[in-house]
Amino acid sequence: MGAYILRRLLLMIPTLVGIMAVNFVIIQFAPGGPVERVIAQLQGTDVSASSRIGGGGSDFAGTGNDASGGSGSAADSVTSKYRGAQGLDPEFIAQLEKQFGFDKPPLERFLTMLWNYARFDFGESYFRDIDILDLIKEKLPVSVSLGLWITFISYIVSIPLGIRKAVSDGSRFDVWTSGVIVVGYAIPGFLFAILLIVLFAGGTFWDIFPLRGLVSDNWSELSWPERIVDYLWHLVLPLTAMVLSAFATTTLLTKNSFLDEIRKQYVVTARAKGLTEKQVLYGHVFRNAMLIIVAGFPGAFISAFFAGSLLIETVFALDGLGLLGFESVLGRDYAVVFAIAYIFGLMALVIGLISDLTYTWIDPRIDFESREV
């Protein structure tokens, strides 16, 4: 097992390099950029959705008079590659490029980024006066909280429900629960979140649950029991909106996995030996059927941790990594975008390895050591 873990750890290096290379290339061809954003702010034309998040370009806010005045073919040549830069001093544009690191060739910038990221040195945000690692630490608890809760709730509800559906396959219970699950899966999470706000957060009907954030404004003044209740009370609507689609995937996966195992010969033999249905189900079937459920855990967690919570964080104003990444893309804060991509890629690879190790814990008969990676 030690050799297998070592191979997997070594394979993470080229995988991470590939992930970052794809993101880097996409960003190179994306329209706009941090330089264009600063120019737009100087020109008073920046209308990006993330303009509220910081003082982008504030270092140059007082240089507008000095920035203009460039003329001639040299100025046109330097500024032509940036939208809205016509008429600005080429030296000012060069200063912007140097600040954002665009004065170096793309390959050099990419290799420098990889070297820094290998040491978890993410630098500073382009438009926030804060170290990126500190910024991520600030947003991480919200996303971790949502990701862990959604994964825990979906598994603790969906696995028993999937087992019950497998045992009673074709029954009335199986049919109506399948209908409810499919309908729930078809409803977009963010639309359901808006519906919950309208119904229960002071919209048109009842004002029962809080609308924004994970804690109340007076959270620091509350006692510990009151803090726990306040935190859980804020989680009700976001988790309800997020868990709707998660139930369907895990429940149906559990049901189909158990149905496949129940029909195998060893289950018939176990029943013939006089074992009770509970002994057969949880003593023999459970271990084999749960392997595919465990395999889906990394994807479920990462999805809930980032992609699944992105719109929910936006709707409920939850200041997590999903919202941070979204705003950073809109605000052309590429330093933050790359850092988040690196961290999520690394997390996905590590969780995948943990998932494989969990295989061996559930079923010791599985031996990854004898397999070629």
Domain ranges of the chain: 19-127, 133-330
Read off the pLDDT of residues 106-164 as tens digits, 9 standing for 90 and up. 899 899 999 999 999 998 888 888 899 999 888 888 888 888 888 888 888 888 999 89
Chain centroid, CA 204 distance in Å: 31
pTM of the model: 0.71
Confidence grade of residue 94 (pLDDT, cut at 50, 70, 90): confident
Give the separation between CA 66 and CA 46, rounded to whole angstroms: 20
Residue 272 clears pLDDT 80, i.e. is over it: yes
* Mean pLDDT computed over every residue of the chain: 78
Is the pLDDT reported for residue 308 higher than 60? Answer: no
pLDDT for 52 beyond 50: no
Q: Identify the band that residue 59 occupies on the pLDDT scale cut at 50, 70 and 90.
A: very low
Query: Contact 57/10 with Cβ under 8 angstroms?
Result: no
Between 128 and 62, residue with greater pLDDT = 128
Say whether pLDDT at 53 is over 90: no
What's at 357, amino acid-wise?
L
Q: Strand pairing partners for 124? A: 131
| pLDDT at residue 75 greater than cutoff 50 | no
Q: Which one is predicted more confidently, 311 or 55? A: 311
Q: State phi, psi for 342 to the nearest 5 degrees.
A: -65, -45
Residues 6+ apart with CB under 8 A from 208: 200, 201
Three-class HEC string of the chain: CHHHHHHHHHHHHHHHHHHHHHHHHHHHHCCCCHHHHHHHHHHCCCCCCCHHHCCCCHHHHHHHHHHECCCHHHHHHHHCCCCCCCCECHHHHHHHHHHHCCCCCHHHHHHHHHHHHHCCCCCECCCCCCEHHHHHHHHHHHHHHHHHHHHHHHHHHHHHHHHHHHHCCCCHHHHHHHHHHHHHHHCCHHHHHHHHHHHHECCCCCECCCCCCCCCCCHHHCCHHHHHHHHHHHHHHHHHHHHHHHHHHHHHHHHHHHHHHHCCHHHHHHHHCCCCHHHHHHHHHHHHHHHHHHHCHHHHHHHHHHHHHHHHHHHCCCCCHHHHHHHHHHCCCHHHHHHHHHHHHHHHHHHHHHHHHHHHHHCCCCCHHHCCC
Q: What average pLDDT does this structure show over 13-18?
A: 92
Which backbone phi and psi does 208 adopt, to 5 degrees? Answer: -105, -45
Of 71-85, 227-241, 271-285, 297-311, minimum mean pLDDT range: 71-85
| Region 133-330: CATH code | 1.10.3720.10
Backbone phi, psi, residue 187, to 5°: -85, 120
pLDDT class for 369, splitting at 50, 70, 90? Answer: low
> Residue 33 above 90 pLDDT?
no
Tell me the one-letter amino acid at 323. L
* Buried/exposed code over 255-269 (b: 16+ C-beta within 10 A; e: otherwise): bbbbbebbeeeebee
Among residues 200, 188, 54, the alpha carbon closest in space to that of 132 is found at 54
